[in-house]
Amino acid sequence: METGLVIGIVTAFWFFVGAVLPIILQFFLWRSPNKGIYQIMLILTAVCCYIFWLTAYLCQLNPLFGPQLSVDMIRFMQQEWWNDQSV
């Protein structure tokens, strides 16, 4: 999957949760005493989850070292994941 596509989709999702939904709630729930709580919950959830996903994604964007695997594991993966029947 393209890097830009993934970042775009995930950012758009959390932006919707954290910015668009609270604005919608502002108009649809404007009488409810709990409106403020829901808005704070949505914004905080979006911010925390987005930052957490972003750190995990950016960390792997440019890996500086790779995984150390046992040879059996490499053979197995070549067969199962990388569809290399030559092994």
Partner 1 sequence: MGSLLRSEEMTLCQLFLQSEAAYTCVSELGELGLVQFRDLNPDFNAFQRKFVNEIRRCEEMERKLRFLEKEIKKDGIPMLDTGDNPDAPAPREMIDLEATFEKLENEMKEVNSNSEALKKNYLELTELKHILRKTQTFFDEAEFQHQAMHDPYLGEETMGLLGEESQRSGQPLRLGFVAGVIGREKIPAFERMLWRACRGNVFLRQAEIDKAMEDPVTGDQVLKSVFIIFFQGDQLKSRVKKICEGFRATLYPCPETQSERREMSIGVMTRIEDLNTVLGQTGDHRHRVLVAAAKNIKVWFIKVRKIKAIYHTLNMFNLDVTQKCLIAECWCPFADLDRIQQALQRGTERSGSSVPSILNRMSTKQEPPTYNRNNKLTQGFQNLVDAYGVASYREINPAPFTIISFPFLFAVMFGDMGHGLIMFLFALWMVIREKQLQAKKIDNEIWSTFFGGRYIILLMGAFSMYTGFIYNDVFSKSLNLFGCQCDKDYTPASLDNNQHLQLNPNGSYTGTPYAIGLDPIWSVALNKIAFTNSLKMKTSIILGVSQMMFGVALSFLNHRYFQRPMNIICEFIPQVIFLFCMFGYLCILIFHKWTHYTSDMAGNAPSLLIGAINMFLFNYPKHSKLIYSGQPGFQGFLVVIAVLCVPWMLLVKPFLLRYQARYGQPFDFADVMINQGIHTIEYCLGCISHTASYLRLWALSLAHAQLSEVLWTMVMRLGFMFDGFIAPFMLVIVFFFWAGATVIILVVMEGLSAFLHALRLHWVEFQSKFYKGEGYMFQPFSYEHILDHGGEEN
Task: Provide, rounded to whole angstroms, the least separation between the CB of residue 26 and partner 1.
Answer: 14
Neighbouring CB atoms inside 10 A of 46's CB total 20
**Amino acid (1-letter code) at residue 45:** T
User: Nearest distance from residue 15's CB to partner 1, in Å?
Assistant: 16
Identify which of residues 28 and 82 has a Cβ nearer to partner 1 in the complex. Answer: 82
Please identify, using beta-carbon distances, which residue of 20 and 69 lies nearer to partner 1.
Answer: 69
Which residues lie below 8 Å from residue 11, measured CB to CB, with a gap of 6+? 50
d(CA 6, CA 9): 5
Chain positions contacting partner 1, by CB under 8 A: 1-3, 6, 10, 33-34, 36-37, 40-41, 44-45, 48-49, 51-53, 55-71, 73-75, 77-78, 81-82, 84, 86-87
Contact in structure between 74 and 47 (CB atoms under 8 Å): no
Rounded to a whole number of angstroms, the minimum distance from the CB of residue 46 to partner 1 is 10
